[in-house]
Structure 1
């Protein structure tokens, strides 16, 4: 999911989402998207983001269903 999709989903501007991502990366001392993805997939990242279930298995992200557009 890219910044544009996240911004639309959260009804925020692209600049806001980008700034928040950059701020989080700075706080975690991550220098690239590759480092960010590696951190998210690490045990520490999964624990801090609460991605693990009670049994230590990775939980599925909740899927958000977009409402169907009605024909005009």
Structure 2
């Protein structure tokens, strides 16, 4: 999902998305360790998506603090 689309989502959606990405990351790591992961580029993509969502959490937190 694009970052512009994610910025319009609420915190609850982002939390669910982050949780599913972390589960996927765990599964990919298990596949990698058991030598069953053929598409290792998926790890990099997953890590990037997690970083994007965590960055959006920081942005939203800063906006919330500034509004007070």
TM-score (norm 2): 0.31
Higher RCO (C-alpha 8 Å, min separation 6):
2
Structure with the bigger percentage of helix: 2
TM-score (norm 1): 0.30
Structure ID, larger Rg: 1
